Each structure stands twice: as C-alpha cells, then as structure tokens.
Amino acid sequence: MTALTLIDRLSGVKRTGPGRWLARCPAHDDSRASLSVRELDDRRVLFHCFAGCDAETILAAVGLGWQDILPPRAVDHHRPRERAPFPAVDVLRAIAHESLIVCVAAAMLQEGQTLPEPERQRMGVAYARILAGVQLAGIRP
Ligand SMILES: [Zn+2]
C-alpha cells in the first residue's frame, strides 16, 4: 500500500511536491485543505491534520485502518529489519587490512618468490573483499 490508498479517498487533493499532498480532512468539516499527507522513501505514510484531528479518526473517516496504509514490511514483525549500511570507517578499515595482504603478496612476487598455495588463495579472498568494499562505498573501479 502507498499514500495513494489514502489519497484516493480524500477530496480537494493537491500535490505539493514529490510524495506530498494537501487535502480536505475527512474527519472534520474542512473548508480548507488542512490535511497534509506525505509518503517517505520507504513507503511509510505520514499525515497530519492542522485542525488537530487525530490519526485514527482521520483513517476511520475514510474507512481505513493502520494495516491499510502501513507498508507490508512494517506490519510483518517476523521479518528481520534491513541491515543498516556499514559505516564508511569500517569499510575503509577492512579495505586497508585486505590491501596489506595484497601488498605482502605483491612484495613476494616482486622479489621473484613464488606464492605458496595458501597465500595465493588468501590473496584471492583479499581481492574479492577489496572489490566488495569498493562497491559498498559506491565507487566504481
Ligand atoms: Zn481534521
């Protein structure tokens, strides 16, 4: 469900910006557009009547309940919350650590040594982790 579920049932709707509307409040005799409706990026719907009507009265006036306007994720309490993005400093630390491993391997190769199999495999892991970290940071190599 989106804000449109609510917007469709309101009158005097004016779009005031991306994901923002003003409409007549269905819960009181509203001659002006007192109801502000906003849809957030995660599809949560916020609404507020500047005349002071409470949210449940507004929803009830248009025949809706909270379950009708909450995004499915918010209703389903059993689903795990989305993981927060990694802090940039943690990504940088991980990249720095993996870079060190690649540097050691590079130094060995430069000195004409052959990389033993465990080191060669570990370098592959470091390479994959560095690329993952770079992608996580939104940088394209
Ligand atoms: Zn109202």
Tell me, in angstroms, the distance from the centre of ligand 1 to residue 24's CA. Answer: 8
Cα of 130 to ligand 1 centre, how many Å? 54
Beta strand ranges found along the chain (DSSP E): 11-17, 20-24, 35-39, 45-49
- Answer whether residue 81 shows pLDDT above 60: no
The CA 31 to ligand 1 mean position distance, Å, reads: 10
Kind plus residue range of the DSSP H or E element containing 128: helix 117-136
Q: What is the mean pLDDT of residues 131-138?
A: 76
Is residue 76 predicted with pLDDT exceeding 60? no
For the chain, give every domain's residue range: 3-75, 88-136
pLDDT in tens, 17-41: 999 999 999 999 999 999 999 998 8
% of residues, the chain, pLDDT over 90: 38
- Rounded Cα distance between 28 and 23, Å, is 12
